[in-house]
């Protein structure tokens, strides 16, 4: 008999839809320790069709591994079908659930929420593109994106650097607004962010102000190890990236201001 047979029997008997199991709990069911690779490599928990003996434990029971969080020693299993190689439940119990759909829905929601309440880690990976000194880089520069992004303006305040971050769907408009204000020119109504930036950030219009930007294609959002490029032309995602970058500024000890435009 396989050493993983107790896990298969345990899963086959469960009535849950989702089971978020601690690795210590799995070891208690097995009555022995998991191999070192099970605690260090997500691939050990892969659903590759039962080609390995330990995978048969959950696949034969009608379950699959939905998510692994080895940092927290948690494996989330999800039921694929009712029953596996071991019968689960009695027909009378199934009949009661059919006759009481409200109770069935409540029970399923409770089980699903167990997985949703597992700790999640959201990480941002970003790359800044230098635009240069606002005093010396014209608004017509090809380096200034027209589309959405997160703009960072930085200036000296004594010996310290202060920054202002702006989430915008038009980087060029924000850049133009501050440059015109610094140059003493009036900006169009839709680009009058300059006065607000200078007031809130405390910039000296006569001092150098450096500018850089996280533009489309240079930001990735990762949730529990799975990532994708952030769409900075989508307002909600642009704002989310800006807020994460703003937190990074504060955690670095810099005085910073965040504007959502």
pTM of the full predicted structure? 0.59
In the chain, where are the structural domains located? 5-116, 123-260
User: Residue 89 has what pLDDT?
Assistant: 43
Q: Tens of pLDDT along 86-113?
A: 434 444 444 444 557 777 788 778 877 7
Q: Is the pLDDT of residue 71 over 50?
A: yes
Q: Tens of pLDDT along 165-223?
A: 999 999 999 999 999 888 888 766 555 688 888 888 889 888 999 999 999 889 998 87
User: Residue 149 has what pLDDT?
Assistant: 96
Which of helix, strand or coil describes residue 213?
strand
d(CA 156, CA 204) in angstroms, rounded, equals 9
Please report where in the chains the tokens 């590759």 appear, as a residue: 48
Average pLDDT taken over every residue of the chain: 85
Of 112, 70, 63, whose CA–CA distance to 84 is shortest? Answer: 63
Compute, in degrees rounded to 10, the torsion defined by CA atoms 40, 45, 50, 54. Answer: 60
Q: Tens of pLDDT along 34-63?
A: 999 999 998 899 987 556 889 989 988 889
User: Residue 163 has what pLDDT?
Assistant: 96
Please report where in the chains the tokens 């230098």 appear, as a residue: 130
Catalogue the long-range contacts made by 3-6 (C-beta closer than 8 Å, 24 or more residues apart): 3/30, 3/32, 4/30, 4/53, 4/54, 4/56, 4/57, 5/57, 6/30, 6/31
User: Residue 90 has what pLDDT?
Assistant: 42
State both tokens at 105: 């829905």
- Termini Cα distance of the chain: 64
Q: Tens of pLDDT along 106-162?
A: 877 887 777 677 677 778 999 999 999 999 999 999 999 999 999 999 999 989 999
d(CA 169, CA 222) in angstroms, rounded, equals 22
């Amino acid at each position: 008999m396989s050493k993983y047979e107790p896990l298969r029997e345990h899963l086959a008997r469960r009535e849950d839809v989702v089971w978020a199991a601690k690795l210590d709990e799995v070891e208690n069911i097995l009555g022995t320790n998991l191999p070192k690779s099970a605690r260090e490599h997500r691939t050990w928990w892969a659903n590759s069709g039962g080609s390995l003996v330990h995978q048969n434990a959950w696949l034969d029971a009608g379950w699959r591994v939905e998510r692994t969080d080895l940092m927290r020693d948690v494996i989330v299993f999800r039921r694929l079908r009712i029953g596996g190689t071991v019968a689960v439940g009695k027909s009378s119990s199934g009949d009661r659930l059919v006759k009481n759909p409200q109770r069935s829905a409540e029970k399923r929601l409770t089980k699903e929420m167990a997985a949703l309440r597992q700790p999640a880690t959201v990480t941002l990976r970003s790359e800044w593109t230098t635009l240069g000194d606002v005093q010396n880089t014209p608004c017509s520069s090809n380096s200034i994106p027209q589309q959405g992004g997160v703009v960072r303006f930085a200036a000296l305040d004594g010996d310290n650097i202060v920054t202002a971050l702006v989430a915008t769907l038009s980087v060029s408009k924000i850049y133009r607004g501050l440059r015109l204000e610094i140059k003493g020119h009036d900006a169009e109504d839709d680009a009058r962010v300059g006065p607000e930036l200078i007031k809130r950030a405390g910039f000296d219009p006569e001092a150098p102000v450096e500018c850089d930007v996280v533009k489309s294609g240079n930001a990735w959002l990762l949730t529990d190890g799975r990532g994708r490029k952030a769409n900075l032309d989508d307002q909600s995602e642009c704002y989310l990236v800006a807020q994460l970058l703003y937190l990074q500024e504060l955690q670095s000890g810099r005085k910073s201001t965040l504007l959502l435009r």
